[in-house]
Structure 1
Amino acid sequence: MSGIRKRSSGATLRDVASDAGVSFSAVSKALRNAYGVSDSMRLRVQASAERLGYRPHAAARGLRGKTFTLGVLVSDLHNSFFSEIFGGVSDTASMAGYQAMLGVGQVQPVVENAVIDAMIDRQMDGLLLVAPSMSPADLEIVAEEVPTVVIGVHLPHATSFDTVNNDDETGARLVVRHLQEQSISDIAFFTLAGLPEARGTTLEFRERGYRDEMQLLGLQQHIQVVGASMDSGEIRSAALRLLSGKRRPRAVFCWTDYAAFEVIGVAKELGLSLPEDLVVVGYDNTPYCALPQHSLTSIDQFGQLLGQQATRLLLERVAGRTSPEHFVVKPTLVTRDSTVIIKPSVSSNL
């Protein structure tokens, strides 16, 4: 046992900042006895921390030294693409003598915050957040307390944490352009619904790429965006409404392969033939796409590479780097039988 007591109240630095009426950075500095903090500020913060039962674990971690563990937060376990990212993280961390520990945020900011607080309590040296739903402001708060790298949120101007992303806008444009080259113009976009509104998400950029490319190609009258949560039943219900409605599209571009497989299942139940009656395209190019029963055309955003690069940046942060870095991977369209390939010689790259 380390002798460091756990937070009995569950209070966080955010709670202390709110109680003391000061900024998060002021709390962090006061609890570290940093230079430039007045005595009155320090006493006020310490009083709030004591009243709330908060233990300054970040300071204790500094006294203990490194734990050689990295916390990895993923939004859910439905999306098999996250396992590819985690594989890249785990391999890279292991080579550097670190252990990656996985936590699930369930696409809920409250749960995400609880997982992150638990990882900080356990003295993890850095955090890698994969597609978090929390706001940019909350990400800044986390990064002030522990070295942080974020995958799946486009915030190129962030200074306190690094980002690693696929070029989601380009990926969506590749899909629309590919389908238009197959003489398909009525293309719907199937997205994730029910998330708190947050800027810079992959969903925002993929939908933007879809809309912009549709308009560029003169197909704006066919723009149709539908969505559902990651729940299988809700995806199937939304797909059923879309495919049995009066405005059934010729093609459905899904924000992730997981949703695309459900759409394919509903289409077959309705007696639709793929790709003759309906074309489906996914995003992530997970291993299941290559299975004969799916043969799903999808955007490859190189999950292993995303995980490797994010871990590299996080280890640099842990070692002391403070200047921000923002790494972007160029996506590739992998065509399979779920789309009508009329012109196989046409390049799918922008």
Structure 2
Amino acid sequence: MSAIPLLVCDDSNMARKQLIRALPSNWPFRITQASNGVEGLEAIRQGAGQVVLLDLTMPELDGFAVLAALRQEGLKAEVIVVSGDVQEEAVRRAKALGAKAFLKKPADPLQLAEALNGLGVEVPLVRPADAERMALAQLPSVSFRDAFREISNVAMGRAAELLARVLGVFIKLPIPNVNILEVGELHMALADAQRGERLSAICQGYIGGGVAGEALLIFHDAEIDDVAKLLNAHMDESAKLEMLLDLASIIIGACLNGLSEQLNITLSQGHPLVLGQHCPIEDLIRINQRRWKRTLAVEISYGLEDLDIRFDLMLLFTEDSVPRLREKLDFLLN
């Protein structure tokens, strides 16, 4: 039985599992999986990627670099980008580097089928049951941490798209860091964000569907004037604070909405509060240490391309939220 060599290149087991399950049942695939761009590029060199489903935000080598290497080496591969980074500039860059289509995560099966049909690849005739069995034979196992990192990645991308439009710059996206932290570890993570600088921080609580927590957005004071310049604004202290609250509302709101959509829960958001302005991180910790116990922490650092500006976002879920989140993720995966 002939089959189409298909490479699924994504650092998330959950994302690869979702993509494999979304493949059309009438296409016979011989599936190879890669967890970063270096592995993916090597698989393509070895002939395992006539068709490639490619993530953009990956360790070792990101999707943009993979596309550039394919062009430089003259490798033949029909690439469909499937990414949580949905900025207009990300779409433009991916297509300029040779991607044939761009789908946002999580990929809709109908849109994926349409993109595959648009490649012009000759599809061998096989029984649908045989094709489906070939595609589903390699579903990866998914841990809670991996699954939560992936839905955070999608939510992060939604926020970046809004932020890019507001600021008029390309947002560099990290791989979200997901950990269950004791209060002491959380303090260390916050201290790592300081880099010896003074900070301003906005906190916003959220609750709903058995899930609760707080979002913490940290701004480095040295960068606030640079952000104001991007907005072509000359601001006094009051106006700068209002700008930070507006940016926090955009970033935190979009992230929480992205999580809500994927988990099928409604998260009510409290009013954003200024935790500390122009103060060292030790003061933030001292002021708030009684509120943060053992927590599921998602750390995201948004960087602005070609500018020394970044926003550090932490989503802190209560320990009691974790069983509900596991239940929701299990439903997504099965």
TM-score for both structures, normalised by structure 2: 0.34
Rg comparison, structure with higher value: 1
User: Which structure is higher in strand share?
Assistant: 2
